Amino acid sequence: MERQNESNIEDQIIFEDNHILVINKKVGQLVQGDKTGDKSILELIKNHIKNRDQKPGNVFLGLVHRIDRPTSGLVIYAKTSKALTRLTKMVKDREIKKTYWAVVPKSDIPQSARLINYLQKNEKTNKSTVFTKATDNAKEAILNYEVIRQLDNFMLLEIDLETGRHHQIRAQLSKIGASIKGDLKYGAPRSNPDGGIHLHARKLEFTHPVTKENVVITAPVPKEDPVWQACEK
């Protein structure tokens, strides 16, 4: 996993105004602090803004939503409490459209499908179990996918999330026999060299919480990864 570096955080900022900052997260970066004690993007951006804008006091920055450490792509942070409150509600009300890209091995899964399952999170193993029918303590999980590119050994899936459950894409794709490249936890045969998985938060679409303008942001795929580069060509 790549260690965080304050010097390159500026290059990862893909959108910023007075209320919102959106970053293109790299594989291995933490969106916020956890028990590992590794420096998170939240801390890096705070330090960056403090130095860049020469702010004397504490910098306000709130995390709006999360993506897993092994994944890459778009994460929204709020620079004002007003934006944080409104964006958090928008996430809850499913008013932020999230599109992901996932690389999976070539298989005979349908070209496109709507997957409806029920996910139960195990806190001890940090893994979600997929059920096909409603089950105690399991939450409904819905996604739509489409195969948008064929590579030599892999396929590129574009995924639209209708719900935001723990490890949802990883677990649901594994259930249909399409484990994400590098995702050992959910059935991939081998890990990726960087310890990450080929899941990328590709696009966000939402109404700006303050200006009310329509915001559409697309994140380039990791440039050092040949498989991702083949997907984007």
Tokens standing for 130?
Answer: 């997929």
Mean pLDDT of the chain: 92
pLDDT surpassing 50 at residue 58: yes
- Per-residue pLDDT, averaged over 68-88, amounts to 95
pTM above 0.85, yes or no: yes
Q: What is the mean pLDDT of residues 62-75?
A: 94
Per-residue pLDDT band for 218 (boundaries 50, 70, 90) equals very high
Predicted pLDDT at 4 = 45
Beta strands in 106-162 (DSSP E): 112-122, 127-131, 139-150, 154-161
Residue type, 152: D
- Write out pLDDT tens, residues 106-153: 999 999 999 999 999 998 999 999 999 999 899 999 999 999 999 999
* Predicted confidence (pLDDT) at residue 3 exceeds the cutoff of 90: no
Residue 7 predicted with pLDDT over 80: no
pLDDT at 39 over 80: yes
Radius of gyration for the alpha carbons in the chain, expressed in angstroms and rounded: 18
List all residues 6 or more positions away from 6 whose beta carbon is below 8 Å from its beta carbon: 44, 47, 48
